Structure 1
Amino acid sequence: MTQPEWGIKLSRYFIIPQRVILAIMGFLAILNAYTMRISLSVAITQLVVKKNHSDEGSDTAFCESDDLDSDSSSGGDFEWSEELQGFILSSFYIGYIVTHIPGGLLAEKFGGKWTLGLGILSTALFTMLTPLAINEGGSTALIIVRVLMGLGEGTTFPALSVLLAQWVPVKERGKLGALVLGGGQVGTILGNLLSGIMLDAWDWPVVFYVFGGVGIIWFFIFCFLCFSDPTTHPYIKPSEKEYLLREMGSIGRNENLPPTPWIAIITSLPMWALISAQIGHDWGFYIMVTDLPKYMSDVLQFSIKANGLYSSLPYVMMWIVSLSSGFVGDWLITRRILSITNTRKVMTALAAFGPAIFMVAASYAGCDRVVVVVLFTICMGLMGTYYAGMKLSPLDMSPNYAGTLMAITNGIGSITGVISPYLVGVMTPNASLLEWRTVFWVAFGVLCVTAVIYCIWASGEVQPFNDPPQKRNIEAEEKQEKRKEVH
């Protein structure tokens, strides 16, 4: 596709390379997705009637209230059981699972731009409808809206995988991939922190209006700045296009790909190792993202403002580690200190065994708030190395089908987003410290077992099912043979 003259003129005004702009907008896409997703986790502590522990038996353990601001933690008017709260928080992932594979297929066929953009836009619109749903329909309407939010957001990671595969060379994949995927941590930080501040200052609907409105603004900026691949970008600099062509060999979407090789993918041992690691990561991550504010409120008895602050600190550390581990991963690969496969395995192992240990340790710190926050911060910080580990494996294993691989792994992993918050609600009917300790021990087992499977069978090499030209070459050779026979 010939670049238009107006595009060449406009490209002069862009100092930052377009692949970096795409990475920044991808980072902001995930950031917005997470703020919209987790805002309810903080807001629900102000929606429900605060649990009274004064009459509980001696077989449970509770911490004393936060004396700094005990009145602000009085809760709301909705009498939702812990089990119902768990189902409400998990309902988002019911929709989230459904659109992963369709989102990956659509992004591979039509490009990642609109698959990503429209998904975030729909999530933003339903986020802004959340207060209306709660006030008019209660828990049932809230569950429906959360499922619809999940349907929109389910395309996010598959579409971004396709975009990164088209825009980012291998030697930049660690740092730019970590930048993009780090949006999850920053979104969690801002979602927790700003939700706590807004809930302390205003009524709870403001949280949903603000985060939904920011998502809509992002959509319009993204539509102007970003495109599915370098060949369709009207104002990319010719020098950058030449660089990408030199580094990647091809900078356009392969529209002649044969049907997705489903059998080869689902029978691939490295693929199942990747799915295993994704399940372990998501189990631990979703418990922390979805339920850490409830733990801070119900067990540690933090005020709402303190809850938002201390629930966000672990993700500050996680973001810092995810970015730095991306640079370390690229350095290990480019210096040939470790292969791609071993780099991904080391990062993934560190991100599983470390959090498993510190998560359990936090539950044994009891009511020492400082120690608990420090341990949770270390726990989530170590989890940040996932983003230079197994999260990049779909791009390593199959650039052509990265969206499909990300959709499969993230979709299956997201089933834990349905199970784990609901299971937490079932396991913590009294919201006690001892009940939560059991939750963290279960997470310990899931994280460790799945990481061992990944470290044994995972691969960072391009898999055979990625290479469709072989089939087309055989067909071309057969046609050529027939022509020879005719002549």
Structure 2
Amino acid sequence: MGKCNILSCYCYCGKIPLRLVLVIMLHLALQNCYNLRVVLNVAIVEMVEPPESTNISESACPQYETVNIVREGGKFPWPRNTEALVLYAFFFGYILSHVPGGWLADKYGGRYVLGMSVFASALVTSIFPYFTIKGGHWVAVTLRALLGLAQGPILPTVSSFVSTWVPSFERTLLGGIAYGGTNLGTILGSIFTGIIIEASDSWKMAFYVWSSLACVYIILHLFFVFSFPSTHPFLPEEELEYLKKHIVVKRSLKTPWKAILSNVPYWANIAGQFGHNYIFFTLVTYLPTYMKEILQFEISKNGLYSAVPFIALWSCSIILSITGNYIVNSMKFMSPLAFSRFFGTFSNLGAAGFSLAAVYVGCSRGWAIGLYVAGMCIKAFYYMTLPTNINELSKNYGGIMFGICNGISALSGIFGNALVGALTKNKRLGEWKIVFWINFGVAVVTSIIYILWSSSERQPFDYEEEESPQ
């Protein structure tokens, strides 16, 4: 049987391929998790008293007037360092559960790991408003860390699903669709959190809405997500045989920890993903704050305009996944390694460069948003390069390797966000210029490492003794 055109709805006796259904569910899982993750990034501008400014002409855009509205739930008198701590506390838990989550997904399958992660995330989000009001910022920090702990296994589990269900020649397309759910979650979470708060006059309501929608996903998850093709009760025999033919079957092997952790191409991938996360986490976490404190948008418009760059990112990631799949598989333009190196580093440098330029247009709202959009369009190349590169390096340990990689690179969420909190205490544009110059520097260093030492070949540690590297 030849390669099936995954874009055709009529495949396998007129049925949509169930690997495509699975990829859509992975997309929705990531979307829901990012809804639960970014709700605080937008809501916090209504939860916290704004910092006092000694000189408004130096600290913000004086031509835009804003009113400090107190919503249901009240406002907390948190200084910027405390506000930053509540935001980046997510990463304290996030980095701890990556490796265990990836290991569980690789060894036992991702169905229950993913389902429980989404359920726990919904539960923590639903109780966040009540306990934060009762207990203060340390309770908020604890709950955000628990949310990170719940979400840590999700990306490694998605990586494990991709290596188990998706043939290598479809990974640029289907992997891009699956990982693109992070962008859809950021979009919907940003836009509708602002709308929900404005409509209900309560920042608490946004947490309740997103946690309820995540519970709807969990019900669908039970019917449509299964760990392996062989355990899917509805998978047609023809598609099962097709997947057996084109996917290297995972083996129950002892994890070669030393070989993995000493592998140079793997560390090059970690460097590239650290650069991506540093840029991405800064924008996801603090773009609403920048829109509020510098560009002076009120909450509903803040959510909308904070989401516009991520709408561009999501749309471009889907489009580029399709065109990138053609380029890589045709082999007429560049090798898979050249493609990954060029566009993976281009995604980091381009996004960091345009974000830096956006700060230098000052109070020009249109130019600032336009530059963020341009940067996020370029950032879309990330989803078809760096994440799928791990599946090229290993067929057997993708979940574990992605867990280690994302856990290490998630440290950027702690360092980067703590640095932003320390540098932007006075709402001054000059402070934000320093933030985005640091972003650009991180992008340059990590891109150089990825270009010099990355690989697209399956690594020696991934082969069993009876196998031989081809």
Q: TM-score, normalised by structure 2?
A: 0.93
Give 1:170's match in structure 2, choosing from 160, 168, 171.
168
Offset at residue 420 of structure 1 (A):
1.2
Partner of 1:222: 221
The DSSP-based 3-state class of the residue aligned with 2:16 is coil
What is the identity, as a one-letter code, of the residue corresponding to 1:445? G
Mapped to 2, the partners of 1:230 and 1:14 lie a distance apart of: 19
Q: Which residue of 1 aligns with 2:377?
A: 381
> C-alpha displacement at 1:427, in angstroms?
0.7
Question: Which letter maps to 1:30?
Answer: L
Distance 2:13 2:139 in 1: 47
Q: Are 1:408 and 2:404 counterparts?
A: yes
Determine the C-alpha separation between the residues in 2 that align with 1:431 and 1:71.
16
Counterpart in the other structure of 2:3: none
Q: In the TM superposition, what are the counterparts of 1:188-337 in structure 2 within 5 Å?
A: 188-202=186-200, 203-250=202-249, 253-254=250-251, 256-257=252-253, 259-337=254-332
Q: Distance in 1 between matches of 2:196 and 2:141?
A: 23
Is the Cα–Cα contact under 8 Å of residues 73 and 303 in structure 1 kept in the other structure? no
- Once the two structures are superposed, what CA deviation does each residue of 1:46-104 show, in whole Å capped at 9, x if it has no partner? 01112343x3276x34112645xx33656752111111111110000100000000001
Q: Secondary structure at the match of 2:89?
A: helix
Quote the offset at 1:266 in angstroms. Answer: 1.1
Change (3 A) 1:112 1:173: same
Please state if 1:442 is matched with 2:438. Answer: yes
Q: CA deviation at 1:18?
A: 1.1
Residue 158 of structure 1 corresponds to 156
Name 1:133's counterpart in structure 2.
131
* Aligned-pair CA distance for 1:325: 1.9
Q: Deviations over 1:353-399 (max 9, x none)?
A: 11121111011000000000101111112111100111111111101
> RMSD of aligned C-alpha atoms?
1.9
Kept in 2, the 8 Å contact 1:116–1:155? The answer is: yes
Change in 2 beyond 3 A, CA 1:201/1:332? same
Matches of 1:167 and 1:89 in 2, distance apart?
A: 35
Determine the C-alpha separation between the residues in 2 that align with 1:361 and 1:166: 41
2:117 maps to a residue whose letter is: G
Q: 1:57 and 1:321 mapped to 2: Cα distance?
A: 38
Q: Distance in 2 between matches of 1:300 and 1:441?
A: 19
- State percent identity of aligned pairs: 36
Distance 1:294 1:245 in 2: 49
Cα distance in structure 2, aligned partners of 1:142 and 1:159? 27
* Contact persistence 2:51–2:425 (CA under 8 A): no
Mapped partners of 1:293, 1:15: distance in 2: 43
Cα gap change, 1:311 to 1:14, in 2 (>3 Å): farther
Distance in 2 of aligned mates of 1:469 and 1:103: 27
1:99 maps to 2:94:
no
State the partner residue of 2:4.
none
The correspondence for 2:390, drawn from 389, 394, 399, is 394
**How far apart are the structure 1 equivalents of 2:194 and 2:239?**
43
1:77 equivalent in alignment to 2:72: no
Aligned partner of residue 98 in structure 1, secondary structure? coil
Note if 1:350 corresponds to 2:352. Answer: no
Cα separation, 2, equivalents of 1:345 and 1:106? 30
Matches of 1:445 and 1:290 in 2, distance apart?
19
Deviations 1:229-270 (A, max 9, x none): 1011111011111211222254xx42x31x211111111110
Q: Distance in 2 between matches of 1:62 and 1:456?
A: 42
Amino acid at match of 2:214: G
CA distance in 2 between counterparts of 1:110 and 1:389 reads 27
1:28-63 deviation per Cα after TM superposition (whole angstroms, max 9, x unaligned): 01101111001001100001112343x3276x3411
Residue 33 of structure 2 aligns with which residue? Answer: 33
1:87 to 85, 88, 107: 85
- The alignment partner of 1:71 has SS state of coil
3-state DSSP class of the match of 2:324? helix
Q: Tell which deviates more after alignment, 185-194 or 416-425.
A: 416-425
For 1:77 and 1:124, locate their aligned partners in 2 and report how far apart those are by CA, in whole Å: 23
Unaligned runs of 5+ in 2: 1-10
Cα drift, residue 465 of structure 1? 1.0
The structure-2 alpha-carbon separation of the partners of 1:312 and 1:261, relative to structure 1 and needing over 3 Å to count, comes to: same
Identify the range of structure 1 (441-450 vs 13-22) with the bigger mean alpha-carbon deviation.
13-22
Deviation for aligned residue 1:14: 8.9
Q: Please say if residues 31 and 186 of structure 1, whose CA atoms lie closer than 8 Å, have aligned partners that are also in contact.
A: yes
1:16: how far off?
Answer: 2.1
Number of the residue aligned with 1:475: none
State the distance in 1 between where 2:171 and 2:466 align.
Answer: 26
Per the alignment, do residues 267 and 205 of structure 1 end up closer, same or farther by CA in structure 2, a change over 3 Å counting? same
**Are residues 1:19 and 2:19 paired?**
yes
Indicate conservation of the 8 Å contact 1:42/1:195, yes or no. Answer: yes
Residues 28 and 57 of structure 1: CA distance in aligned 2, closer, same or farther (over 3 Å): closer
For the Cα contact (< 8 Å) 1:66–1:303, is it kept in 2? Answer: no
CA contact (8 A) 1:72 1:200 kept: no
In 1, the alpha carbon distance for the partners of 2:342 and 2:105 equals 30
Task: Report the CA distance between 1:228 and its aligned residue.
Answer: 0.5
The 1-side partners of 2:55 and 2:418 are apart by 23
Report which of the two structures shows the higher radius of gyration computed on alpha carbons: 1
Is the CA contact (8 Å cut-off) linking 1:43 and 1:195 kept in structure 2? yes
Letter in 2 for 1:425: G
Separation of aligned partners in 1, 2:67 and 2:28: 35
